[in-house]
Chain A
């Protein structure tokens, strides 16, 4: 994979040099008088290996060692109906990422309804999926770091759960699907959920709500437990440059297969419920973002229902000190509630603290070279600390 990323980086540098000379598209490609618009992103990121799996968003892919390409399209049927789609590839593994219809029922009213595989309603960082919106190379912990929880397998006891601390990259439990696979992040940034979403804006307030098949941490194409998720978000812009958002999500988390094996009814008891608060403030050459999420999963643990809580806080800043050059930093902490095992009371997963410092240089408006250094500390697991330097080349149109 490393060779693949290195090759990709070389290719991208060559493309960047060619683009600088020849002028690859710097704007989205428009056809039919703007009825069809295509945009694309290519990021090649290289970093040393990460044996502690701090930076993995899935079992296979580290967010610091990947070639990611995406092609997105907007097809406007008329002034009220558009179709949006995106295909992504991570290290040449292609997946359909988004596919939904955007309907504006009233020409004059700012109300949009989106149906299909829709973007997350919850949170701020989920709105910043494209690398150009992320001032650093790494993704926020809440959206990338894999906890040890799985929707298709649950531990039989608290001890079994505690043995999987810091093993979210490859977790296995005795109830449900017995195979080893990756756990879920607090909020997934790697796939979209399926459902219906409505958004309306009024002056300085934007309201969004959605009903979907999966949950915040486990978005799904097809429902696996008969329960629906409800998400809501409100953003307020009290002053120029300042936006404050609050989000809520609640949905059935544990899969039908697990509940059947436990002889549990298909009730709405085993849910993920999350609250989020976030802000963004930009002024002159500064941009500051902060986000806090409190999430609770209710899973069957033996004969009881165990609430497993987590809270994550993140604050990041970006400062453009010269035209086309900036420096950025992000500090985050992911904490877990404590549960009682037979021999100890511990957080149900190992808390993680991450600091990332970096910067970027715009070779052209749409070609950016970035570098960052990331320090991860974890209170558990075989590897408790890891730091990486990473480099990234980003091209978008």
Chain B
């Protein structure tokens, strides 16, 4: 401790300081021991709360490419013959994105595939731009807060009547945003009450083993505990293809290509 060198030497004070230093040192050691004990209790297989999975030597990754051959027309505005038109252009939809997720019917209840994640809620974003929800498909984990900012000149009214999450954010304008927390796993269809051609999907999972495909259809799911899973691809309203896969105890990267047709 540098301050001891700066103070003048005094025998009585020195003795008191030595006692204090010894007490502080003992308290420090006690604190370290307690922390170590707490850490040990929380390590898998060492008591306290049961582990989510058996201790494994490693985790695996699943990667591949989703080939979407199914032709999906972009949502169209309803033909409104009462419309005087001169309307703004509607942005093209990103309909070529799919969601890949893992399912494991045989995995015990306490597996990460069954347990809802804890901790600070994650935030995600679904924009409203040119009378389109962007992205068109959003995959989130339960507890995620999804922001719905409006970047259009007109008002939007985001709502959903899905059983998984029923909400109505009301009308709000450019520069404003509303947030929805998705607590339950399931599929949530999102619409705008003002613009009937606006629609999107929020897929809510109670585990983190899901991802949205990239522009070229590639995907990757990391940190998958060893076990046997079903890899499923979901596209525009339904599961389209699935494969069974086993991550060995040694972990590793598994390649799984999927087809949507």
What residue of chain B has the Cβ atom nearest to residue A284's Cβ? B170
Q: A34-B76, A240-B174, A323-B159 are in contact. Are A201 and B86 (CB under 8 A)?
A: yes
The B contact surface, by secondary structure, is loop
User: B85 in the interface, Cβ–Cβ < 8 Å?
Assistant: yes
Set of chain A residues within 8 Å of B73, measured between Cβ atoms: 30, 33-34
| Whole-angstrom distance between the Cβ of B179 and the nearest chain A Cβ | 15
Q: A72-B79, A74-B79, A365-B161 are in contact. Are A199 and B172 (CB under 8 A)?
A: no
Of A125-133, A252-260, A268-276, the one contacting chain B is: A125-133
B85→A114 contact, CB < 8 A: yes
Q: A86-B81, A119-B81, A323-B167 are in contact. Are A365 and B76 (CB under 8 A)?
A: no
User: A357 in the interface, Cβ–Cβ < 8 Å?
Assistant: no
Q: A320-B168, A320-B170, A323-B166 are in contact. Are A199 and B86 (CB under 8 A)?
A: yes
User: B48 in the interface, Cβ–Cβ < 8 Å?
Assistant: no
B177-224 contacts to A (CB < 8 Å): 189, 191, 194, 196-197, 199
User: B12 in the interface, Cβ–Cβ < 8 Å?
Assistant: no
A241→B173 contact, CB < 8 A: yes
| B76 in complex: contacting residue of A27, A121, A240, CB < 8 Å | A27
B161→A240 contact, CB < 8 A: no
B161→A121 contact, CB < 8 A: no
Give chain B's interface residue range (CB within 8 Å of chain A): 35 or more
Interface string of A183-207 (1 = CB under 8 A from B): 0000000001000010111000010
User: A147 in the interface, Cβ–Cβ < 8 Å?
Assistant: no
Interface string of A124-143 (1 = CB under 8 A from B): 00111110100000000000
User: A294 in the interface, Cβ–Cβ < 8 Å?
Assistant: no
A197→B84 contact, CB < 8 A: yes
| Whole-angstrom distance between the Cβ of A25 and the nearest chain B Cβ | 11
A27→B81 contact, CB < 8 A: no
User: B160 in the interface, Cβ–Cβ < 8 Å?
Assistant: yes
| Whole-angstrom distance between the Cβ of B91 and the nearest chain A Cβ | 14
Set of chain B residues within 8 Å of A396, measured between Cβ atoms: 78
What residue of chain B has the Cβ atom nearest to residue A363's Cβ? B161
| B155 in complex: contacting residue of A37, A241, A323, CB < 8 Å | A241
Set of chain A residues within 8 Å of B155, measured between Cβ atoms: 240-241, 282
User: A208 in the interface, Cβ–Cβ < 8 Å?
Assistant: yes
Interface string of A75-99 (1 = CB under 8 A from B): 0000000001110000000000110
Q: How far is the CA of A349 from the CA of B251 in the complex (A)?
A: 86
What residue of chain A has the Cβ atom nearest to residue B176's Cβ? A240
B78→A323 contact, CB < 8 A: no
B82→A362 contact, CB < 8 A: no
Set of chain A residues within 8 Å of B84, measured between Cβ atoms: 112, 114, 119, 121, 127, 197, 199, 206, 208, 233
User: A110 in the interface, Cβ–Cβ < 8 Å?
Assistant: yes
User: A3 in the interface, Cβ–Cβ < 8 Å?
Assistant: no
A84→B79 contact, CB < 8 A: yes
User: A52 in the interface, Cβ–Cβ < 8 Å?
Assistant: no
B166→A324 contact, CB < 8 A: yes
Q: A30-B76, A282-B171, A323-B161 are in contact. Are A97 and B81 (CB under 8 A)?
A: yes
Q: How far is the CA of A197 from the CA of B86 in the complex (A)?
A: 12
Q: A206-B84, A324-B166 are in contact. Are A28 and B78 (CB under 8 A)?
A: yes
16 sample A-B contacts, Cβ–Cβ < 8 Å, listed by A number: A27-B199, A30-B74, A39-B78, A72-B80, A84-B79, A84-B81, A110-B87, A112-B85, A119-B82, A119-B84, A132-B196, A233-B84, A282-B157, A282-B194, A287-B171, A365-B189
